[in-house]
Structure 1
Amino acid sequence: MLFPPLGQALGGGGDSSGTARRRGIGSNDYFDRYVAFGVPDDDLSETAFTRGLDQLADGPPGPEVAELLLRLENDTQRIGRRIRQRLDAGTPVPSTALLLELADRYGSLTAQAEGFLRADMSARFLAQDLFRNLPADARADVLHRMAATPQGTMLASRVLYDTTEPSSTAPAFAQEGDTWVQEARTSLVARLREHLTTPGPRPTDQLTDSDVDLIWNWRHIDHATARAWIRQRLDDGTWQLLPLLTKIVRPPRTPWGAVDADTLANLDALIDRAEVYTVLDQTQTTPDPDQARLLEGLRHARDRGRTETIQQPTSGPAEMTNDQDT
């Protein structure tokens, strides 16, 4: 059925993925072809799409694979859906090659967001599906190869995290005890160290946004080694605590706002909360506006925590009350 309402009336249901598999007019990815009576200039024909995948898998490279990779970069969501349709149908796709290409382009995707779905999120979802299509004995090596660049490491570490964490609707795809998981984690930590220390140790004011993203990703895949690495730099004087916090903690949006609880909880995995709060006693004022906002936000967060602790009933009085009621 080309038209979803007619399909529903005849018992076909409203499965949008099924419409896309049939290349029906009800699919956003194929609608323009019907009204234009052909493949629009901003689309990729099925023939070119198939040839591009074949060339990516077996070579030799031709214009189709070049066009496919260009579309992967500037039309990420649509190309991702078309690749996923093939995965769902059991049609072979060059998963390893696509993962490496996604990693290589992860920091330079130019596709516009579709609603709330940004291009980087679409690439991350596609990478998850492609990665799970790999045999277990190939997964660690593919993640290592994906992580050849800082942006590739971002995608690889997120794939590992998504693969080993349960979702709200399903258990984790892989378990911590799986041999390849430990191998991949060790490999990615080595890549993170490499990217964060090349061309050499950098003071905090030279940390880029990419560096900060790498640190937070490190926290999610192996917080113990990330914590030790940060501790070493604080101890040897490469970094100072307040400038580091100003770099890695997003300051409150308003001068009177507190650093949110989720940020503090994530930060706990990298730096002791008590040590974070010591900067409040050591630094009363600072001419740096970002540091000043962060200090104020931390003060509000500390005061909020103290208030919540005072207001929370302890177990002792509650037990005594129960005894008295009895």
Structure 2
Amino acid sequence: MKVDTWFSDDPAADLAGNYGRGQFLEATWAVLRQAQSIKSSTVFGLVGPWGSGKSSMLQWLQRKAEAESDLPWNFVRFNPWDFQDDASLQTGFIAELSGAFESSPLKKAREALSAFARSVAPLTSIAGFLGVDPSHAVEGFAKLLDGDRSVARARAALEAALEEAEVPTLVVIDDLDRVSADELLLTLKLVRQIGRLPHVHYLLSYDEQTLIDVLSHTSLVGRSSASRARDYLEKVVQARFDVPALRPIDVRALVNLELAELSTSGTIRISEADAARFSSAFFAFLAARLSTPRAINRYFAQVRMVSPGMLGEVDNVDYLVLSWLRTAEPGAYALIQRHRDELVGAPYFGGSRTDDAESKARVAKWRSRLIEGGTRDSEVEGVASAIGFLFPRFSYLWSSSTSDSEPAKPLRLAHESYFDRYFSFGLPPEDIADAVVERALSDLAAGEAGSSAVTLVELAAISNADAVLEKVARGLERESRSSRELFDWLANLWSSMPAKADAIRPGARLESALSARLRTLDESLVTVYLQSLAAHVSLLLNTLDTALRPQRGSEFRLLESQTRMVRDVVRQELLREGSSPSAIRSELRPAVWAWSRLDPSGFSDWFEAQRIEHGDLNALGFFVQSYVTLGAKRAPYLSYLDFEEASKFFELDELRRTYSAEILTSPELSSDRFEGPPDTPQNRVDVALASLRIEPNPDSP
């Protein structure tokens, strides 16, 4: 398919014989050639569904007819769409025939046609056609008083003139299935009762099912009488040419050709992974609906609407599937936007999604929505499969399954941060292109901290912090270079993110990316990293803690000098904090725990000094576990004493004996560990004492 005509639905004769249809056209032409020598009028039917290429085939046949020099066809095209009412339709039909009879052999036939037209056409309309003043047309009324005898004489004269000329005429009527019921019935009557003339043949192009449906709504056939409509059609059409359906191999060839053009033009670049996912979608639900040249053409015309700036900013396969829904199922396309909250995000795993009454009701609701939106009942499953392909949450609802283990990964339509891109055909105002983020990281890695890309990312982070930080984390995985400027900027960006009590934080995503980067750095860059993050202790310790965990095939260790550097950084932070072990703020406490794991001796020295300065009970309070309720606005609360960690620094039985009075008078702990007291220094001490009272002494009989 030519790139410069992808937007057009015009016939294309050059393509008509492609994809297994060349032999069909040659066979059709051979039959039409035989009709040239036949005097009696024949009506042929070129039958095929909408979009199957009938108009292109008619154009091919016309070229073939014009190229035959030994006995050329007198080729006439008549389109019922060109006329607004029955009178003009009848007049137009005769006018087209008259225009075909302009050559010298048919001059006599043209005059006879005019006489015949006056006997059968409405007086006023035919008068205008013949150039006669309508006010004088009534003068010819007396000539019609003889009724059929007058019409018969005029028709006989016309037939005699055509027999004498012996010029084969082929009248082609395209798009017959697109006119109204009355217009269709009139056209068929004109062909069957008026147009059946010697050496005048007809080629009607139509979708049979549509024609039968339309005829079933006429008074002649009767409502919903499909069999009678078919019988009537068979009386009109003597020979039919059924357009071969595109074979599956032809459909695949056309689609592959279009995809190749998309890649070549740079509209969408299809990777091997994309090709595998698109193939899955194609065989699951696309192939059944991309069965005609027009369907394929219309589909890829929509695909090409993507903005050049969106290249690499959306998932290619999701965009291809959504474009099909926009083309073939606009109602479903609108439903996706209207019900985004039900679709975006991870599926609700756990329990059956189709057996329980609630899930069945939701499936039934979506089925009703699709049908009300214009989806045929027979197409609901295919459309649902397409929506499920895009949204794993919907797939799990509809069929209790999902093929994607990471349903909300970036660039996908199901990801909240990328959903709007697909429907705005560009980046929403508050969004930022992933390419800009990657360019900013590249500039920073090269030491250019003040580039325009860096500034754009910083501005975007003000209004869309979560999305930007996630994109930065992903971009960091692709940018292999490192620099002090990069580490400084990442640390400042991380610290500027608002704190949220969420299980999945963009900040955690960046920490993971930085931990992975740490494991690849040489010794000098590790030192640069530690220096850059010295002012951001939580980020520094969290990333170090993850990087130092054993991983198969690789090992990361700090030099002794680097461990001392970390120790100094933490001690300075705790000194600035000025807090006792039970009073360390909740944001810093996880970092101190991380320090205890990566520098046990340094943590032990600090803790013993704190124990001496603030006492056993305050120091013991450090080991009380704290929690936050996800999504809740309440402050962190306390749960219980971590006996395993506390026993590394205390003899717990000795504490029970020493502080027995305090233990007996300590407040009762809630039986529900998720409803503990707020995280305060005194509550930490109270929970530690109460835990010692409840926890049994392992040495007691």
Equivalence for 2:644: 265
Q: CA–CA distance in 1 between the matches of 2:582 and 2:518?
A: 36
Structure 1-normalised TM-score?
0.68
Closer, same or farther in 2 for the Cα pair 1:224/1:5, shift >3 Å? same
* Structure 2 SS opposite 1:174: coil
Identify the residue that residue 64 of structure 1 maps to in structure 2: 453
1:102 positional shift: 3.4
Using the TM superposition, give the Cα deviation of residue 221 of structure 1 relative to its aligned residue in structure 2, in angstroms.
Answer: 1.4
**Pair 1:24–1:69, CA change in 2 (3 A):** same
Moved more, 67-76 or 136-145: 67-76
Aligned mate of 1:281, from 657, 660, 672: 660
Alignment-derived partner of residue 228 in structure 1: 605
Gaps of 5+ in 2: 1-269, 284-316, 318-402, 629-637, 668-681
Task: From the two aligned structures, give the one with the greater helix fraction.
Answer: 1
Shift of 1:94: 4.5
Q: Which residue of 2 aligns with 1:8?
A: 280
Distance 1:211 1:50 in 2: 31
- Which position in structure 1 is the counterpart of 2:512? 125
Shift in Å, 1:160 = 1.8
Q: Which amino acid aligns with 2:645?
A: N
- Residue 139 of structure 1 deviates from its aligned partner by 0.9
Cα distance change of structure 1 residues 77 and 251 upon mapping to structure 2, 3 Å threshold = closer
State how far apart, in whole Å, the 1-side matches of 2:583 and 2:503 are. 32
* Number of residue pairs aligned between Structure 1 and Structure 2: 286
Amino acid at match of 2:426: G
In the alignment, the residues of structure 2 paired with residue 252 and residue 54 of structure 1 have an alpha-carbon distance, to the nearest angstrom, of 38
Check if 1:141 corresponds to 2:528: yes
Amino acid at match of 1:192: V
With 25-34 and 290-299 compared, the bigger mean Cα shift is at: 25-34
Q: Which amino acid aligns with 1:184?
A: Q
- In 2: Cα distance, 1:30 partner to 1:86 partner: 16
Aligned-partner Cα distance in 2 for 1:16–1:203: 43
Q: How far off its partner does 1:219 sit?
A: 1.1
1: CA distance, partners of 2:585 / 2:627: 20
Distance (Å, rounded) in 2 between the aligned partners of 1:172 and 1:139: 20
- Note if contact 2:596-2:603 (Cα within 8 Å) is conserved in structure 1: yes
Q: Given the superposition, is the C-alpha separation of residues 220 and 269 from structure 1 closer, same or farther in structure 2, using an over 3 Å criterion? A: farther
- Asked if 1:296 is matched to 2:687, the reply is no
> What 5-or-longer segments of structure 1 have no aligned partner?
311-326
Task: After superposition, give the CA deviation of every residue in 1:128-181 in whole Å (9 maximum; x if it has no partner).
Answer: 13323433431133123312x2xx122212222211212xxx437424xx5x44
Give the structure 1 partner of residue 490 of structure 2: 102
8 Å Cα contact 1:44-1:68 kept in structure 2? yes
Mapped pair 1:40 → 2:418: no
Q: Equivalents in 1 of 2:541, 2:580: separation in Å?
A: 24
State which drifts further: 5-14 or 48-57. 5-14
Query: Match of 1:165?
Result: 549
> Is contact 1:140–1:181 with CA below 8 Å preserved after alignment?
no
* 2:585 corresponds to: 208
Q: Distance in 2 between matches of 1:93 and 1:204?
A: 39
Match of 2:567 among 164, 180, 189: 189
- Which region of structure 1 is more displaced relative to structure 2, 219-228 or 7-16? 7-16
- Give the CA deviation at 1:123: 2.6
| Other structure's SS at 1:110 match | coil
**8 Å contact 2:581–2:618 — kept in the other structure?**
yes
**Are the aligned partners of 2:440 and 2:453 in contact in 1 as well (CA < 8 Å)?**
yes
Tell me if the contact between 1:4 and 1:14 (Cα under 8 Å) persists in the aligned partners. no
Question: Does the CA contact (< 8 Å) of 2:421 and 2:428 recur in 1?
Answer: yes
Equivalent residues of 1:100, 1:146 under 8 A apart: yes
1:264-284 per-residue CA deviation (whole Å, 9 max, x = no partner) reads 223334445455545542524
Using structure 2 for the length normalisation, give the TM-score: 0.35
Aligned to 1:49: 437
User: Over residues 167-222 of structure 1, what are the superposed CA-to-partner deviations in whole Å (9 max), with x where a residue is unaligned?
Assistant: xxx437424xx5x44332221111111111237x5456764334544432321211
CA deviation map 1:48-88 (0-9, x unaligned): 32442244333261453133235557756544554455455
**Structure 1 residues 51, 67: CA separation in 2 closer, same or farther (over 3 Å shift)?**
same
Structure 1 residues 48 and 247: alpha-carbon distance in aligned structure 2, compared to 1, 3 A threshold: same
What secondary structure does 1:283 align onto? helix
Which residue identity lines up with residue 8 of structure 1 in the other structure? Answer: S
- Alpha carbons of 1:215 and 1:128: their partners in 2 closer, same or farther (altered >3 Å)? closer
Mapping of residues 67-82 of structure 1, within 5 Å: 67-69=456-458, 71=460, 75=464, 78-82=467-471
SS at match of 1:198: helix
| Gap change, CA 1:251 and 1:50, over 3 Å in 2 | closer
What is the match of residue 698 of structure 2?
306
1:245 aligns with 2:620: yes
- Distance in structure 1 (CA, Å) of the matches to 2:405 and 2:562: 37
Contact 2:622–2:684 (8 Å) recurs in 1: no
Counterpart-to-counterpart distance in 1, 2:524 and 2:581:
39
Q: Are the equivalent residues in 1 in contact too, given 2:582–2:618 (CA < 8 A)?
A: yes
Contact between 1:109 and 1:120, CA under 8 Å: does it hold in 2? yes
Q: 2:644 aligns to what SS in structure 1?
A: helix
When residues 32 and 275 of structure 1 are mapped into structure 2, their CA distance, relative to the original with a 3 A threshold, is: farther
2-side partners of 1:189 and 1:136: how far apart? 17
Distance in 2, Cα, partners of 1:107 & 1:119? 12
Give the one of 588, 596, 602 matched to 1:219. Answer: 596
Question: Residue 306 of structure 1 aligns to a residue in which SS?
Answer: coil
Given that 2:624 and 2:687 are in contact with CA atoms closer than 8 Å, whether structure 1 keeps it comes out as: no
Relative to 1, partners in 2 of residues 1:60 and 1:139: Cα closer, same or farther, differing over 3 Å? closer
3-state DSSP class of the match of 1:259? strand
Residue 7 (structure 1) shift: 4.5
Distance 1:198 1:46, change over 3 A: closer
Letter in 1 for 2:526: R
Distance in 2 of aligned mates of 1:105 and 1:91: 17
The runs of at least 4 aligned residues of structure 1 exceeding 6 Å deviation read 1-5
Structure 1 partner of 2:99: none
Q: Distance in 2 between matches of 1:278 and 1:103?
A: 47
